A = this chain, B = another copy of it.
């Protein structure tokens, strides 16, 4: 069993780094706050006597040697946050993994297989694209070089930031072969709470498409230019945002969000010249997601034709629906059963590092309820009881899989 007090106290320690006045966390990937969080984590891993390694994309790995050589049972998540982040998203999965290894150490237990915890770089995609970048590179979906070339919205490079904070490590991403991957995470949505609580055995992750649209119109004077002469990309962006939102009413289970809207030159009396906007489109299934994207592209083509706005598209992320391994989902359920904890199967609305790791090995996740379904919000909250329950399920599952 894990030590609940130690788990929550580690989480509180990490939450102090990048703490915001609203009670949340702002620890954007590869910023100074992220560096402080990493330094803290490395300190924890080393104190536990784990073999601690950093790879070329900044993923932090702590390994507990098992009795055999061969692939490891890996637990993990991330410690970066979005701009309006909470204290639990990602951080909980990492400290739970640390706690599992600490509990095994305390009990003097050595698993058959290696066991490891990983904190993956830039999972949120808040600063660099795509989201799940560290685990994507780990799983071989993207090269280290391509990842280093990613830039944030200010044009600052991922590679240079990694060097600046001292986390460009010597290991090759993926250097530790994976026997299985397990991730504990807050649900970040309202499903479990609405079902009266209990844990979630995650069956997979929905498909995610992130598009960046650049809309070019014609800057002009807002006091002298007749309405009919304007080519206003801001108005076009407004129509696209509303169209994407309307789509969610006709395509089942479709989600849409426009989280970034940047308007140039951004003067009160200038009809905008350029708008850069993003669309985050998700669906549990690939086909309706493709249908939604197609509808957006068709709408944009028509609007472009009609209003004289040039629209170009860029993919920021594109991940298919990812089912998890049935045998591992069943192991998660079994562990919950052993502790007498209610658990229900559910799909994940959020992307997770598990979605990338599922390319490499059998993968599963355990969710705990998020109060009010809130996440990416300073008010994000989960109870100590649920955290301890989730970590115990993680421990039991990882231990069994590591010794099978």
Contacts and interface: CB of A to CB of B under 8 A. Distances in A.
Interface residues of A, number: 73
Given A220-B376, A237-B238, A259-B266, 16 more contacts: A83-B265, A84-B219, A84-B270, A131-B269, A189-B225, A190-B226, A208-B223, A210-B268, A221-B350, A222-B376, A223-B280, A224-B348, A224-B350, A260-B263, A260-B266, A261-B275
A353 interface: no
B375 A220 contact: yes
Given A222-B257, A259-B271, A269-B124, A235 B241 contact: yes
Given A84-B270, A224-B188, A278-B268, A234 B263 contact: no
A258 interface: yes
A270 B235 contact: no
Interface of A: 82-84, 124-126, 129, 131, 153, 187-190, 206, 208, 210, 218-227, 229, 232, 234-235, 237-239, 241-242, 245, 248-249, 255-273, 275, 278, 280, 282, 316-317, 348-351, 370, 373-377
B234 A242 contact: no
Contact of A377 (B219, B238, B258, B375): B219
B270 A225 contact: no
Contact of A259 (B222, B248, B255, B317): B222
A335 to B, nearest CB: 23
6 contacts: A83-B266, A126-B267, A219-B377, A224-B349, A225-B349, A225-B375
Contact of A261 (B226, B234, B256): B234
Contact of A225 (B82, B124, B373): B373
Most chain B CB inside 10 Å of its own CB: which residue of A189, A219, A268: A268
Contacts of A260: 263, 266-268
A221 B189 contact: yes
A257 B257 CA distance: 24
